[in-house]
Structure 1
Amino acid sequence: MKLKNAVVFITGANRGLGRAFAEAALAAGAAKVYAAARDPASVDLPGVVPIALDVTDPAQVAAAATRCGDVTLLINNAGVSQAATVLADDAIDTARRQFETNFFGVWALTQAFAPALQANGGGAVLNVLSVLSWLTVPGLTPYSASKSAAWALSNGLRGELKAQGTQVTSLHVGYMDTDMTRGLDTPKSAPADVARLALEGIEAGAFEVLADDISRQVKQSLSTATPAYAG
């Protein structure tokens, strides 16, 4: 699909990669950009339409889909990460919270907006995943599990939405210079670069976008005798 004249709905659009998506969509000529956040007052980017949305709240999801029935591109960007070892007393509760946003939130938004996408010609869905969809690092097993599940969900959605002409693209990226990675001393991608690559992938009809070297390296390793997840 083309971004020019598209109507774009972005979750978690008040900062970080979500805000970068909004800026990139406007620059690409989108006719309208809905910028969703739990607190719409935190959306301060000129030219977008702020929307109140907690992706874990079914009533708010339904209200957003009803209000924004002209959407042609849904970007499931909202995500949370909380460190926990698998044997910690609160590990399962921590995992559940992350699954509610990173997995069930993606599912709920896509399900809610699928009829509008179909009515508007098919359009596209972009799911923001992670290199940790394929790789688990100590302390982030719950987050990795939620992103792995979201990857499987994306692949399932791609097959099921194909019949209505909706493209589903998965975005995998490692470290980005956002609040989520604050304090980590490691090379990080600029959110603006990741957003641009992702939107270029959508326009090219790509089923998957690997936005940085680490994502490309890990993905390539999956078909070898020593995949990255083997440690």
Structure 2
Amino acid sequence: MTDLQNAVVLVTGANGGLGTEFVRQALERGATRVYATARNPRDWADERVVPLALDVTDEASIAAVAAAASDTTVLVNNAGAASGSSMLAAPLDEVRALFETNVFGPLAVAQAFAPVLAANGGGALVDIHSALSWHAGGNAYSATKAALWSITNSLRLELAGRDTQVVGAHLGYTDTPMTAHLDVPKSNPVDIVRAIYDGLEAGDHEVLADDTSVSVKSALSGSLEALYPQLAAS
């Protein structure tokens, strides 16, 4: 388990709805410093928050942040992009770009910070997945989340020998600017981040942060027709 009291936390994608809440609640739980990273970092008006520029698709940018934030003990891999791009209709360059941000970006950040966390006692890596890791939406976004889920499972095994806790967090629609255009029920980001940090501090390997994630994961043992009713109708 990882205690956030006196921790040094780095959050990627800190300007977003979830990222902002990860920063806020880390401080609330006693973190002494939070590195709030984004492509265009903003001023947080809090001396405990250190804004850093980070492009997760740029190896030089990642290396610079790893050097600047060498006291990090908890890494929250939250940065990502949303897209409804069809796997068949979207140009491959568009699909590749989404994988660069949502899959290879978090992996590159994890590679850069694994030795940092180990040097600081092990600490923790938190990867933000989605209920769509387990339920294809017929688009590239769900494919990226499925890939990141698999990567996190591998990282968990590799980092166990370095005493690094790896948490995979799953969630459904959450009320953030990224989902503002969707007319669907959404969870409050306050509740989602609280559940994830609770799981981190309890020593969990995986957090199902809402009912949607619980429901989708429980359906994996059933038939494909139950998970995808459109198959039965076709």
> Scaled by the length of structure 1, what TM-score is found?
0.94
Corresponding residue for 2:232? none
Q: Which amino acid aligns with 2:214?
A: R
Specify whether residues 154 and 43 from structure 1 end up closer, same or farther in structure 2 by C-alpha distance, changes over 3 A only.
farther
Corresponding residue for 1:220? 218
Aligned: 1:75 with 2:73: no
Q: Does the Cα contact within 8 Å between 1:14 and 1:43 map onto a contact in 2?
A: no
Corresponding residue for 2:120? 120
Q: Does the Cα contact within 8 Å between 1:94 and 1:142 map onto a contact in 2?
A: no
Distance in structure 2 (CA, Å) of the matches to 1:221 and 1:45: 44
Distance in structure 2 (CA, Å) of the matches to 1:197 and 1:75: 14
Distance in structure 2 (CA, Å) of the matches to 1:195 and 1:228: 30
Q: Give the CA deviation at 1:86.
A: 2.3
Q: Does the Cα contact within 8 Å between 1:25 and 1:33 map onto a contact in 2?
A: yes
Corresponding residue for 2:203? 205
What are the residue-to-residue correspondences of 1:29-178 with 2, within 5 Å? 29-40=30-41, 42-44=42-44, 46=46, 47-90=48-91, 92-138=92-138, 141-178=139-176
Corresponding residue for 1:24? 25
Distance in structure 2 (CA, Å) of the matches to 1:38 and 1:217: 34
Distance in structure 1 (CA, Å) of the matches to 2:226 and 2:56: 31
Q: Give the CA deviation at 1:158.
A: 0.1
Specify whether residues 182 and 33 from structure 1 end up closer, same or farther in structure 2 by C-alpha distance, changes over 3 A only.
same
Distance in structure 1 (CA, Å) of the matches to 2:162 and 2:107: 17
Q: Give the CA deviation at 1:43.
A: 4.3
Q: Give the CA deviation at 1:200.
A: 0.6
Q: Does the Cα contact within 8 Å between 2:87 and 2:95 map onto a contact in 1?
A: no
Q: Unaligned 5+ residue runs, structure 2?
A: 230-234
Q: Give the CA deviation at 1:44.
A: 3.0
Q: Give the CA deviation at 1:34.
A: 0.3
Q: Does the Cα contact within 8 Å between 1:176 and 1:189 map onto a contact in 2?
A: yes
Specify whether residues 5 and 93 from structure 1 end up closer, same or farther in structure 2 by C-alpha distance, changes over 3 A only.
same
Q: Give the CA deviation at 1:87.
A: 2.3
Q: Give the CA deviation at 1:183.
A: 1.8
Q: Unaligned 5+ residue runs, structure 1?
A: none
Cα-to-partner distance string for 1:40-97 (whole Å, 9 max, x where unaligned): 2x3435331000000001001001001111000000000101122222152x222111
Distance in structure 2 (CA, Å) of the matches to 1:24 and 1:13: 12
> Scaled by the length of structure 2, what TM-score is found?
0.93
- The structure 2 residue matched to 1:230, chosen from 228, 231, 234, is 228
- List, as ranges, runs of 4+ consecutive aligned residues in structure 1 with deviation greater than 6 Å: none
Q: Give the CA deviation at 1:114.
A: 0.6
Cα-to-partner distance string for 1:139-186 (whole Å, 9 max, x where unaligned): xx2101110000000000000000010010001001001111112111
Q: Give the CA deviation at 1:19.
A: 0.5
Q: Does the Cα contact within 8 Å between 2:10 and 2:72 map onto a contact in 1?
A: yes
